[in-house]
Amino acid sequence: MKAVKARVSRGLRVGSNITCADNTGAKIIQIISVLGYKGVKRRQPTCGVADVIKATVKEGDIKIRKQVVNAVIVRQKAEYRRKEGLRVTFEDNAAILVDDNNEPRGTEVKGPIAREVIERFTSISKVAGIVV
């Protein structure tokens, strides 16, 4: 897993409900924890684009609902800044489900994906439709 070149502001907290942007059967997932987050006592962990999270499936297919899954954030509403000075924002918060090796579980992704995700996880670029 590579470092992200942009200064990504962490716009999502633990407990946030976000949409699932792939075809695995999950519709809405809730963030349980952020993998690799090192915080301060009593501070709520946060995450942003290209972060790996643990989540539970709240709505979706009966087979996948109520399961704990790994996911990668691919879009966030909170604005963040890239190295070249460009500020990026999306219209929704979204994630895609991944397995233990950070390979995508679905075969296609709905909507655009941030370039920072493709830089960090090259295997996600195979299922990406639009990269912004």
> What is the pTM for the complete model shown?
0.92
pLDDT digits (tens, 9 = 90+) for 50-98: 999 999 999 999 999 999 999 999 999 999 999 899 999 999 999 999 9
Closest CA to 70 of 100, 113, 46: 100
How are the residues of the chain apportioned to helix, strand and coil, as percentages rounded to the nearest 5? 10, 40, 55
* CATH code assigned to 12-131: 2.40.150.20
CA distance 95 to 50: 9
Question: Could you tell me if 98 and 71 are in contact, meaning their C-beta atoms sit under 8 angstroms apart?
Answer: yes
pLDDT digits (tens, 9 = 90+) for 10-43: 999 999 999 999 999 999 999 999 999 999 999 9
Q: Where are the domains of the chain?
A: 12-131
Question: Could you tell me if 59 and 27 are in contact, meaning their C-beta atoms sit under 8 angstroms apart?
Answer: yes
